[in-house]
Amino acid sequence: MRVITVGQLDPTSPDAPVAAHYGDPLREQRGPGLVDRSHRGVLELTGPERLSFLHNLTSQHLLSLGDRQATQALLLSPHGHIEHHLWISSLGDTLYLDVEPGTVDELEAFLLKMRFFTQVEISRSELRVFTQLGSNSKADVLPVPEAKFSTGSVPPRPTSIYAIEPLPSGGFSRSTELGVDFLVPEPPSEPNVGLWAYEALRVAAGIPRIGFDTDHRTLPSEVDLTGVAVHLEKGCYRGQETVARVHHLGRPPRALRRLHLDGIVSDNLPVPGTPVMMGDRSVGFIGTAVRHFEEGPIALGVLKRKISGDTPLVAGESTVAVESPND
């Protein structure tokens, strides 16, 4: 099997250590197959105050996260900008946190700094992440309340709950919208689908990656993470004031949009961060651009909210058509 790593094509990518594809990236999107995502960082938290510790730091309500349940959460800057996106999985007396590649050192240092006298232990995990495509599952996600909502509208529980199951060989599986994640010491089978396939399905589903589809000033509501990762009635965490203010105003300044691309002079996809131009004015940027096996070249982009599907746009060597939120 011919393996092409992301690093062979882009040595500077955070995804460089893993396979981009195994010879046929479009066919691999059709699944089923196992994707190597073992470059994600994984931490373990133990101790009787592990849930309250994270509850007080993150955007998610975690006090009632049950055994064999997972959720998503954010760590924000004091101004409400996204710094870390966390998957938090609870199994037995341990919380497992898995995060974007290249960010686990910074996250671990922050958590250790904030621990003080809390009864929680933080360590690196030997578990690695792999994802089986082809068996998607819907999460239990609470509806996002209207801009002006009354106290008690959001139940005191995680806003998103995903089922996890322990595995006989160690680790666990976690059902998500894109497939089944395995956090295990060794892969359950030989990976045979590259990360490009996973990324194409992620972009088609409109799911952002922090650091890929965001910049240093991205707010949770701009990239549709409020529903799965932010509890709007939970206060007293860093950045909460900005999150509440933007939600009550009802109109974040930018929005994550799905984009359809058409090459002008070449078939090269725009690289992450490419400005999206309306004439000589930048109105946003490209995040992840992919070739989808059914939809062709598509991307996620963060654009000014007022930009519509009728607006003529260009990103690098591609014309850009903005998909309506209702499409």
169 pLDDT more than 60: yes
Instruction: Give 140's strand partners.
Output: 161
268 pLDDT more than 90: no
**One-letter identity of residue 12:** T
Confidence of residue 175 (pLDDT cuts 50, 70, 90): very high
pLDDT for 221 = 96
Q: Identify which has the larger pLDDT, 327 or 183.
A: 183
Mean pLDDT value of segment 213-236: 95
Mean pLDDT value of segment 166-172: 96
Mean pLDDT value of segment 71-88: 98
- Chain segment 242-266, per-residue pLDDT in tens: 999 999 988 898 999 999 998 766 6
224 pLDDT more than 90: yes
- Chain segment 47-77, per-residue pLDDT in tens: 999 999 999 999 999 999 999 999 999 999 9
Confidence of residue 326 (pLDDT cuts 50, 70, 90): low
Strands 121-124 and 41-46: antiparallel
How far is the C-alpha of 129 from the C-alpha of 176, rounded, in Å? 13
How far is the C-alpha of 87 from the C-alpha of 73, rounded, in Å? 7
How far is the C-alpha of 323 from the C-alpha of 309, rounded, in Å? 6
Confidence of residue 1 (pLDDT cuts 50, 70, 90): confident
Confidence of residue 138 (pLDDT cuts 50, 70, 90): confident
pLDDT for 327 = 52
3-state secondary structure the chain: CCCEEHHHHCCCCCCCCCEEECCCHHHHCCCCEEEECCCCEEEEEECCCHHHHHHHHCCCCCCCCCCCEEEEEEEECCCCCEEEEEEEEEECCEEEEEECCCCHHHHHHHHHHHHCCCCCEEEECCCEEEEEECCCCCCEECCCCCCCCCCCCCCCCCCEEEEEEECCCCCEEEEECCEEEEEECCCCCCCCECHHHHHHHHHHCCCCCCCCCCCCCCCHHHHCCHHHHCCCCCCCCCCHHHHHHHHHHCCCCEEEEEEEEEECCCCCCCCCCCEEEECCEEEEEEEEEEEECCCEEEEEEEEECCCCCCCCEEECCEEEEECCCCC
How far is the C-alpha of 116 from the C-alpha of 78, rounded, in Å? 20
Mean predicted lDDT score pLDDT of the chain: 94
Kindly list the distances between the CA atom of residue 167 and the CA atoms of 185, 217, 258, in Å, as whole numbers in the listed order.
11, 39, 36
129 pLDDT more than 60: yes
pLDDT for 309 = 79
Structure tokens at 303: 């654009």
55, 66 Cβ separation under 8 angstroms = no
Q: Identify which has the larger pLDDT, 171 or 137.
A: 171
CATH architecture entry for 4-249: 2-Layer Sandwich (3.30)
Nearest to 43 by CA among 116, 139, 110: 110
Mean pLDDT value of segment 115-129: 97
pLDDT for 310 = 81
Q: How many residues does the chain have?
A: 327
Sequence spans of domains, the chain? 4-249, 254-322
Specify the residue for token string 């349940």. 69
> Domain 254-322 adopts which CATH fold?
Elongation Factor Tu (Ef-tu); domain 3 (2.40.30)
Structure tokens at 14: 């955070």
pLDDT for 148 = 85
pLDDT for 311 = 83
9 pLDDT more than 60: yes
259, 320 Cβ separation under 8 angstroms = yes
Which region among 132-141, 185-194, 274-283, 293-302 has the lowest average model confidence (pLDDT)?
132-141
pLDDT for 264 = 62
130 pLDDT more than 80: yes
135 pLDDT more than 90: no
Nearest to 321 by CA among 222, 307, 207, 294: 307
